[in-house]
């Protein structure tokens, strides 16, 4: 019998063993291989905080012996080459204890054919095969194959298709993702959950993450969104399509949703709340902090086509006697979102708007001057009860990035930034 022992490092694919027999050292078949169990503690938690790669280790194997499914510890298994093919050899079968398996998952049951997030490509992909390695310290999952090569390998036609494509001068598309660059999202049959404080999904841009969540099924959408911290969840919720927003808000506990909504601009929250049923909307508004809830309620009172219905209440006002240096100091302390400070607004003691000063004007002016010395009175404004349709013409005519919104008493009510009106014009959001 040809029996070639493997080297100190043997790489292989899950598909090379799935459904095949495994043997004792004498070559006698012991059963069919069904699955490998991996310990993902290092992957789901430690590797997020460590610079060193952490590979999930294979700790058990599931096999079929006769009509029974059994699970054995993997420490007494090794790989050998027989007649050009890899074989799995067991020196001693020791049944797996069912204790302490909360951080373990079966590869075939929970990873293969499931959806994962390709963190580098920032998209959702499906696992076609799994690349593994056996070294003296153990056997580990290295990467997942999400390309057609992995699919053909599992179907057993990789060699013939690769040969045909090679004869045609074409390459077979291949896509391998290292284990450190993925995030599993479909653990429907597993007790494993993403580690909320350290989920790699938090590293993605909100727009990319929103695209990924929209591609998921409804159950996975809710689960993945729930793993995000409140700040990232708020940013992502803003980017989602209205129907997906509504589903997530309806699916999560009121307390969780309220915490997220409090991190969002009031006008964005008003858009979401306005799409909900009266009962759900009231529950959320009551759960939110009083000040946040009050701002949203005020926006909801505007008629659908009024400027006030899309304005943001996140803006910064200053008195005219403040110096430019003091203004910048205040801005650095508050750390507002960049879009909130395209312009700052100068108001009198009665909160009536006096002037609008662009950030560029502040930067080039002497820092010892006061706002009153550089401001130009009679800024371009719109009333909160004006029609939305008037905004596009005003922004275009005066080349503005932000338009202050006042009431009929000349008091500041909010601001409309160019992003909001552009989204409306492009029909990317509901024009109220």
Domain CATH for 278: 1.25.60.10
Token output for 98: 């069912």
Q: Which among 133, 138, 124 is positioned nearest to 217, based on CA atoms?
A: 124
Are 370 and 338 in a shared domain?
yes
Are 249 and 148 in a shared domain?
no
Please calculate the CA angle 366-370-373 and round it to the nearest 5 degrees.
Answer: 90
Q: Which among 243, 218, 246, 248 is positioned nearest to 233, based on CA atoms?
A: 248
Euclidean distance between CA atoms 270 and 258, whole angstroms: 13
Are 245 and 327 in a shared domain?
no
Q: Which domain holds residue 413?
A: 317-425
Are 362 and 401 in a shared domain?
yes
Whether 189 is in a domain gets the answer: no
pLDDT 10s per residue in the chain (432 long)?
455 555 578 899 999 999 999 999 999 999 999 999 998 775 544 444 444 456 789 999 999 999 999 999 998 899 988 888 899 999 899 998 876 677 788 999 888 888 777 777 777 788 899 999 999 889 999 888 988 888 888 888 887 877 777 777 777 777 888 887 766 655 544 434 443 334 567 778 899 889 888 888 888 888 888 888 899 999 999 999 999 999 999 999 999 999 999 999 898 899 899 888 889 999 999 999 999 999 999 999 988 889 998 888 888 899 999 999 999 999 999 888 777 788 899 999 988 999 999 888 999 999 999 999 999 888 999 999 999 888 888 888 888 888 999 999 999 999 988 877 766 555 434 444
DSSP 387-412: BTHHHHHHHHHHT-SEEEEE-TTSBE
Are 278 and 410 in a shared domain?
no
Supply the pLDDT for residue 186: 52
Euclidean distance between CA atoms 391 and 415, whole angstroms: 11
Whether 103 is in a domain gets the answer: yes
Domain CATH for 355: 3.10.580.10
Euclidean distance between CA atoms 361 and 380, whole angstroms: 16
Supply the pLDDT for residue 310: 86
Residue 158 half-sphere exposure, CB side, CA atoms within 13 Å?
Answer: 17
List Cα–Cα distances, 400 to 149, 357, 431, in angstroms. Answer: 52, 11, 20
Whole-model pTM: value is 0.63
Whether 360 is in a domain gets the answer: yes
Supply the pLDDT for residue 190: 45
* E strand or H helix at 131: strand 129-135
Supply the pLDDT for residue 74: 93
Supply the pLDDT for residue 131: 93
Are 334 and 374 in a shared domain?
yes
Residue in the structure block whose two tokens are 């494993």: 192
Supply the pLDDT for residue 389: 84
Are 286 and 249 in a shared domain?
yes
Supply the pLDDT for residue 326: 95
Whether 191 is in a domain gets the answer: no
Cα dihedral 9, 12, 14, 15, rounded to 10, equals -160
Q: How many domains does the chain have?
A: 3
Whether 306 is in a domain gets the answer: no
> Which stretches within 148-188 are classed as H helix?
148-155, 158-167
Are 68 and 128 in a shared domain?
yes
Of 301, 334, 353, the residue that ends a domain is 301
Supply the pLDDT for residue 404: 93
Euclidean distance between CA atoms 247 and 310, whole angstroms: 22
Whether 388 is in a domain gets the answer: yes
Whether 309 is in a domain gets the answer: no
Are 233 and 340 in a shared domain?
no
Supply the pLDDT for residue 83: 81
Are 403 and 293 in a shared domain?
no
Of 239, 268, 301, the residue that ends a domain is 301
Are 77 and 118 in a shared domain?
yes
Rounded to a whole number of angstroms, the distance between the first and last alpha carbons of the chain is 78
85: Cβ–Cβ under 8 A, 6 or more apart, which residues?
A: none
Are 291 and 356 in a shared domain?
no
Whether 327 is in a domain gets the answer: yes
* E strand or H helix at 68: strand 68-73
Dihedral sign for Cα 138, 143, 149, 152, please: positive
């Amino acid at each position: 019998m040809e029996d070639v022992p493997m080297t100190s490092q043997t790489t292989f694919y899950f598909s090379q063993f799935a459904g095949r027999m495994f043997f004792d050292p004498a070559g006698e078949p012991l059963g069919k291989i069904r699955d490998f169990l991996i310990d993902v503690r290092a992957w789901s938690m430690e590797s997020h905080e460590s610079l060193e790669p952490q590979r999930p280790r294979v700790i058990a194997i599931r096999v079929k012996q006769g009509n029974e499914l059994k699970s054995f510890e993997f420490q007494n298994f090794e790989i050998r080459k027989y007649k050009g093919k890899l074989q799995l050899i067991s020196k001693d079968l020791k049944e797996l204890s069912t204790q302490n398996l909360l951080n373990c998952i079966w590869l075939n049951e929970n990873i293969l054919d499931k959806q994962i997030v390709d963190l580098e490509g920032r998209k959702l992909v499906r696992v076609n095969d799994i690349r593994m390695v056996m070294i003296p310290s153990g056997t580990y999952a290295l990467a997942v194959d999400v390309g057609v090569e992995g699919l053909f390998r599992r179907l057993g036609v990789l060699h013939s298709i690769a040969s045909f494509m090679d004869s045609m001068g074409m390459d077979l598309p291949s896509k391998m993702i290292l284990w450190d660059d993925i995030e599993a999202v479909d653990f429907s049959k597993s007790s494993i959950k993403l580690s909320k404080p350290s989920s790699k999904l938090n590293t993605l841009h909100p727009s990319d993450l929103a695209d990924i969540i929209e591609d998921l099924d409804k159950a996975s959408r809710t689960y993945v969104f729930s793993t995000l911290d409140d700040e990232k969840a708020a940013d992502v919720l803003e980017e989602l399509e209205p129907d997906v927003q509504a589903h997530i808000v309806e699916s999560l506990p009121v307390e969780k949703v309220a915490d997220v909504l409090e991190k969002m601009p009031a006008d964005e929250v008003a858009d979401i709340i306005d799409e909900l049923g009266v009962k759900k909307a009231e529950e959320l508004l009551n759960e939110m902090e009083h000040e946040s809830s009050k701002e949203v309620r005020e926006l909801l009172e505007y008629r659908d086509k009024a400027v006030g219905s899309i304005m943001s209440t996140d803006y910064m006002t200053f008195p005219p006697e403040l110096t430019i240096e003091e203004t910048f100091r205040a801005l650095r302390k508050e750390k507002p979102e960049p879009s909130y400070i395209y312009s700052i607004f100068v108001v009198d003691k009665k909160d009536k708007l006096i002037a609008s000063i662009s950030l560029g004007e502040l930067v080039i002016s002497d820092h010892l001057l006061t706002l009153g010395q550089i401001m130009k009175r009679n800024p371009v404004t719109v009333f909160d009860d004006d029609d939305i349709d008037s905004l596009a013409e005003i922004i275009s005519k005066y080349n503005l990035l932000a338009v202050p919104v006042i009431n009929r008493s000349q008091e500041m009510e909010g601001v409309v930034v160019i992003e909001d009106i552009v989204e409306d014009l492009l029909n990317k959001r509901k024009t109220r």
